[in-house]
Amino acid sequence: MQNSQRLTLFFSSIVLILLSGCVSHPKLDSTPDGYIKNYEQMTAVKGTDGIIQDRWASPELNNAHNPLEPVSLLIKPVIYFPKFDSQSQFMKANANKITTYLTDQMQKTAAKYFPLTDTPTAGTFIIAPAITQVMISSEGIRPTEILPVGAVIGIGKHLLGTRDKDVEIRLENNVTLADDNRLLATSVFRGEGLQLENNREQLSIKHLKPLFNAWIAQWDRELASYKQIIDKRHDSIANTGAAASN
């Protein structure tokens, strides 16, 4: 009887430990050494495809009647912040391919709506993206593993190194005005890539591309909406001028 009770307590403890890490989009907290200086002012916004983005924009951008209009955009290359730390399943070569892919996709998307530049001038919006988290961890317990037999199998996989690995990644952006380095907007994308099959498979762009493409699609919609507001303002000014001349 005592052995049975101990076994039950053991499995209960394992389940509680594994389930305790499951949090649904926790609020961002400010940290003095964070890439973004104030996370607390950001608001979580859910896109049409379910992508959740934390973001903040200055009143200058949120002005529906007279939004600040960029002369051009400078998209800085994506970096790792505070620095890249090589892991056994995430090597430098793959890390470089990931930032290159993200940078290229961001530049291609932005170029659809605004001129791009490599040299900032007055009126240039500078977009500085950074990957601030890449976390590889053993997958969370599945519903079928809550039973003692399933838990034993899951623990065995973990010890043998055959258990799938979850991949979490975070992309943050600071948008500033080149004139005076004034902060215009911040955003944070958080999500999970495709799982690694074991503790030997290397994390590569193939595991993250579907997530990145969803993020880029969300950003595309945001840029299109902002450009539409600007274009409507131009049309309104043109129509007012035409009416005045008549």
Q: Which amino acid is located at 240 in the chain?
A: T
What integer pLDDT is reported at residue 242 of this predicted model? 60
Please give the residue range of the domain that contains residue 177.
25-139+164-245
SS3 85: coil
pLDDT of residue 86: 83
Residue type, 174: N
Mean pLDDT over 6-18 rounds to 36
**191-207 mean pLDDT:** 93
The domain that holds 126 is classified in CATH as: 3.40.50
Whether residue 149 has pLDDT greater than 70: no
User: pLDDT digit string (tens) for 22-81?
Assistant: 334 567 766 778 999 999 999 998 877 788 899 999 999 988 778 899 999 999 999 999
pLDDT in tens, 107-138: 999 999 999 999 999 999 999 999 999 999 87
> In whole angstroms, what is the distance from residue 211 CA to residue 197 CA?
18
Average pLDDT over residues 146-167: 48
Helix (H) or strand (E) holding 96: helix 92-111
Q: Which H helix or E strand runs over 187?
A: strand 182-192
Domains: count for the chain: 1
CA distance 222 to 220: 5
Residue 182 lies in a domain: yes
Please tell me what DSSP assigns to residue 90.
Answer: B
**pTM, rounded to two decimals:** 0.78
Whether 152 is in a domain gets the answer: no
Structure tokens at 167: 């991949």
Q: What is the pLDDT confidence band of residue 246, given thresholds at 50, 70 and 90?
A: low
191 φ, ψ (degrees, to nearest 5): -175, 180
Q: CA nearest 106: which of 41, 171, 31, 32?
A: 171
Mean pLDDT lowest among 14-23, 89-98, 192-201 = 14-23
